[in-house]
Amino acid sequence: MTLPLSFLKKIWRNRIEPQEHHRQLAREAGLEPFFASILADRNLQDREEIRRFFEPRLSMLADPLGLRDMEKAVTRIVHAIQNNEKIAIFGDYDVDGATSSALLLRYFRSLGVDVRIYIPDRLTEGYGPNTPAMHTLSQAGVTLVITVDCGITAHEAMATARSLGMDAIITDHHLPRDTFPEAVAIINPNRTDDLFPHKELAGVGVAFYLLMALNRELRSMGLFSGTRNEPDLKPLLDLVAVGTIADVAPLTGLNRILVKVGLLATEHTRHPGLQALMKEARISGRLSAGQVGFQIGPRINAGGRLSQGRLGAELLATDDPNRAGEIARFLEAANRERQAIEEKIQRQAMQQLTLLGTGEPIHGYVLADRHWHPGVVGIVASRIAEKTHRPTVVIAVDEQGIGKGSARSIPGVDLLQAIEACQSLLMYYGGHHAAAGLTIEARQVQEFTKVFNDFLKDTIPAEVFQMALLVDGATRLTDFPFETVCQLERLQPFGRGNPEPVFVFENVRVDGYRILRDRHVKCHLSDLDDNSLEAIAFNVFPGPLGEGIISGTNRLDVAASPSISRYQGRERVQLVIRDARPTPWGSVGNMSLEH
């Protein structure tokens, strides 16, 4: 039987089919049977791996000296500290760069090191180290430049630094080219010649690993045996968590450990800047991964998008509560301005999509305009990629006919590989498989669009472009008592590489719905035996999902994530609805998930 389309026009597919091995592991671990697919999806193969996943600890972190060039970097920094050299931290203007910069500044400042941060202006300098910046730092007496979250492709800037008598240490996580820039050390887990197995680190994770190795070396040298106290790295992990989540790095492996512990540290953060941001966002207590991604991260990013990139790093580095509050309020206003600009550009971009017609299928969208703001094209690209399920490049063209573009991908498409297929048409490009940036002459955009689409059409299977909701199997409302949902919560933090579980509840009815704040739908879902659970769908009304839930359709299949709702000291199980569809006749109990 052909199953009806979901209200969001998506195919529902099982994320993975568990093997008997994983079913046995779930039984041995005292987990409900549906955990088998969750264990399989995370490639957990034995009881010890399950324990490490459910109970990540800092003691499980890999040795930082496993990263190539780490010893060289530590040796050079120790020399700089011993000789009272001026050190500059060169960071990116996004959240990963801001947190990385603040992380190193806080550490060096605690040692009494003469250190400064340099964040390039997004609109006038562009991404990464540049030649004029190297001259500025040299004139200020800097002799050692440490890059964070950038630098792996900055050949010209690093050569300039060397010619000016400055040494450079590059810390980055972006994919390198065939050759490396000149530097004393290049720490990047994604170096092709680095055997370090943990490739998932964000820029701030690489920076933290540098501090782990440096702190260990300084301790072994006896530097902390006198009047100088050893810096405590653990309170810095809140910055690591914020940067890692905001950069949409996989929340697996080392990142899972760093983010899990880092989010715990946000509950009592020592950093006035993070406290001020949480106040502006009206968040109290411990941050969740979702709050970082959708509330904290955009506020830090707002300054960089509107040519005030240094403010994010300054906010997170300051110990002055008054200055922190001032910057946080400015970023709050900048974020509202950014949202207005973004909404305008997104409407215009969607209008461009409607003009593309219904001819030959389009595998990737390339949209450009001379009136768009280059600081927000990345957000717009992300929104369109999510809405259309197509890799998307959004380009802002300046008065000189030069376009600055940001690109975002979808699961199953290596974006950087697709862009590299067009490199002869580009002035600059860089990034990784999920997100990238590029510079292109406006006259080349049309040809770039063709080559980009041809590559996607010829190399990516057609099913990758089908909109799909990945689910973890069909279950029943009675499968989720409070204790079981608490077990699911131990899988947090959820994010890329560790998705929040989604289950299908077949043949349920909607009881007693309410519309909250004109956009959320709250209701109860009941099965054939009148078992019931509270459910909510966020930000769906008006819209096809919200209207479908309240349409009065007799029976629905609902895809939802079980969660614990906490409000005014009360805790209860609540389903968060992700999608729904009418139940076909005769489908109860043996429904195929894909139509």
CATH of the domain at 514: 2.40.50.460
Residue 363 has pLDDT above 80, yes or no: yes
Q: Which residues contact 149 (CB under 8 A, 6 or more apart)?
A: 91, 92, 94, 96, 97, 100, 171, 172, 173, 174, 202, 203, 204, 206, 207
Backbone angles phi, psi at 151, to 5 degrees: 110, -15
pLDDT for position 562: 97
Residues 427 and 519 in one domain: no
Q: What whole-number distance in Å separates Cα of residue 252 and Cα of residue 237?
A: 16
Q: What whole-number distance in Å separates Cα of residue 58 and Cα of residue 141?
A: 37
Query: CB of 321 within 8 A of CB of 276?
Result: yes
Residue 52 domain-assigned (yes or no): no
DSSP code per residue over 383-421:
HHHHHHTS-EEEEEE-TTSEEEEEEE--TT--HHHHHHT
pLDDT band at 166 (very low <50, low <70, confident <90, very high): very high
Q: Which of 173, 140, 124 is nearest to 304 (CA)?
A: 124
Residues 96 and 169 in one domain: yes
Residues 531 and 497 in one domain: yes
Residue 593 domain-assigned (yes or no): no
Residue 594 has pLDDT above 80, yes or no: no
pLDDT for position 323: 97
Residue 450 domain-assigned (yes or no): yes
Q: State the CATH number of the domain containing residue 148.
A: 3.90.1640.30
Give the residue from 450, 465, 480 where a domain finishes.
Answer: 465
Residue 545 domain-assigned (yes or no): yes
pLDDT for position 566: 87
Residue 569 has pLDDT above 90, yes or no: no
Give the residue from 415, 434, 465 where a domain finishes.
Answer: 465
Residues 149 and 177 in one domain: yes
Stretch 153-170: mean pLDDT, rounded? 97
Structural domain span for residue 542: 11-16+472-582
Structural domain total, the chain: 3
Residue 306 has pLDDT above 90, yes or no: no
Q: Which residues of 408-434 are buried (b: 16+ CB within 10 A; e: fewer)?
A: bbbeebebbebbebbeebbeebbbbeb
Average pLDDT, the chain: 93
pLDDT tens track for 15-26: 998 899 999 999
Q: State the CATH number of the domain containing residue 421.
A: 3.10.310.30
- Identify how many contiguous H helices and E strands the chain contains and give both numbers: 20, 18
- The overall pTM is greater than 0.85: yes
Residue 593 has pLDDT above 80, yes or no: no
pLDDT for position 360: 76
Q: Which residues contact 446 (CB under 8 A, 6 or more apart)?
A: none
pLDDT for position 357: 67
Residues 437 and 519 in one domain: no
Residues 422 and 480 in one domain: no
Alpha helices in 186-309, H assignment, sequence order: 203-220, 237-246, 253-265, 272-280, 289-291, 297-305
Percent of the chain with pLDDT over 70: 97
Residue 39 domain-assigned (yes or no): no
pLDDT tens track for 259-292: 999 999 999 999 999 999 999 999 988 999 999 9
Residues 388 and 426 in one domain: yes
pLDDT tens track for 495-551: 989 999 999 999 999 998 999 999 999 999 999 999 999 999 999 999 999 999 998
pLDDT for position 595: 39
Q: Which of 35, 3, 15 is nearest to 475 (CA)?
A: 35
Residue 344 domain-assigned (yes or no): no
Give the residue from 445, 465, 485 where a domain finishes.
Answer: 465
Residues 299 and 433 in one domain: no
Q: Which residues of 540-578 are buried (b: 16+ CB within 10 A; e: fewer)?
A: bbeebbbebbbeeeebbbbbbbbbeeeeeeeeebbbebb
Residues 128 and 204 in one domain: yes
pLDDT for position 585: 53
Residues 428 and 479 in one domain: no
Residues 109 and 204 in one domain: yes
Query: CB of 588 within 8 A of CB of 507?
Result: yes
Say what the alpha-carbon torsion angle 323, 326, 330, 336 is, to the nearest 10 degrees.
120
pLDDT tens track for 103-152: 999 999 999 999 999 999 887 888 889 999 999 999 999 999 999 999 99
Residue 342 domain-assigned (yes or no): no
Residue 3 domain-assigned (yes or no): no
Residues 303 and 369 in one domain: no
Residue 592 has pLDDT above 50, yes or no: no
Q: Which residues contact 121 (CB under 8 A, 6 or more apart)?
A: 93, 307, 309
